[in-house]
Amino acid sequence: MDSDKDSSRPRVAVVTGAAGKIGRAVVKRLGSAGWKVAGIDRKADNADLSIQADVADRAAVLDAVAAVAERWGIIELLVTAAADYRQARIGEMSLPSWQRMLDIWLGGTANACAAVLPGMVEAGHGCIVVLAADVRPGSQGQTYIAAASGTLAAFVKSLGSEVAADGVCVNCLAVRPSINPDWVAETICFLADEGRYCAGQVMLLGSDFQR
């Protein structure tokens, strides 16, 4: 267990959406636990290495991850925290905006996973934590978020099963927009360190009754 900790080489993590509220907390928590953290975001972030890129751009994400691997070596952890919380009543969002939501939630997550997975599979070891929005039971204006982000539950269950045998654990944390970002960061540390028999799981954090 924790074989990576035994070497002197720091553990390497990539966080997408690193400049966001949750992303920043994750970057900070991982940094305090000794990880080298690269952030990918359209805005500058507080990671050791801040790469400004759009997660919806597959080529840009592949380039960013390649740059991280070249600099620090094997990437052990990926956290996808890029999000789009635009609200609109059903029928009132433009098609380009809806496409953009899908491109960020599902496309961005798939892009980042595609970028890190070959290295993780080769290493026989890796952890991916996908963040999704928990907007149950849903209120007016949240249907688009629920749909775009909801795709991630199915994505993680499938991908998690697919790569579990390769030693890569893929799990999803479904969080309410009001979640304490430190709780998310703490849970990610657990999954990366000792939650290595969890795979393909969608975990709900926080109470349904405290929004």
Partner 1 sequence: MDHAQRLKDKVALVTGAGQGIGRAIAVRLAQEGARVAVNGRTAHPKIQAAARETGGISVVADIADGVQVERMVAAVAKQLGTIDILVANAAYMTMMPFLEQDPADWWKHLNVNLTGHLACIHAVVPGMRRLGGGNIIIIGSIFGIEGWKNASAYSASKSGLTALGASLAEELRPENIHVSIVHPGVVDTPQLQVDAKDLNITVEEVKAMYARDIPMGRIGTPQEVAATVAFLAAEGGPIFSGRSLQINGGQNRCSG
The residues binding partner 1 (CB under 8 A) are 1, 157, 160-162, 164-165, 183, 186-187, 190, 194-201, 203-210
Q: Note if the bond before 177 is cis, omega within 30 degrees.
A: no
Active site residues per annotation: 144
- Which one, 96 or 137, has the nearer CB to partner 1? 137
Task: Name the minimum Å distance from CB 84 to partner 1.
Answer: 24
Task: Name the minimum Å distance from CB 56 to partner 1.
Answer: 28
Give the Cα separation of 168 and 171 in Å (integer).
Answer: 10
Task: Name the minimum Å distance from CB 182 to partner 1.
Answer: 9
- Which one, 98 or 183, has the nearer CB to partner 1? 183
User: 32 with 42: CB under 8 angstroms?
Assistant: no
User: 145 with 132: CB under 8 angstroms?
Assistant: no
Residue 48's alpha-carbon distances to 64, 83, 157, in angstroms, are: 14, 21, 31
- Which one, 61 or 129, has the nearer CB to partner 1? 129
Task: Name the minimum Å distance from CB 147 to partner 1.
Answer: 19
User: 211 with 178: CB under 8 angstroms?
Assistant: yes
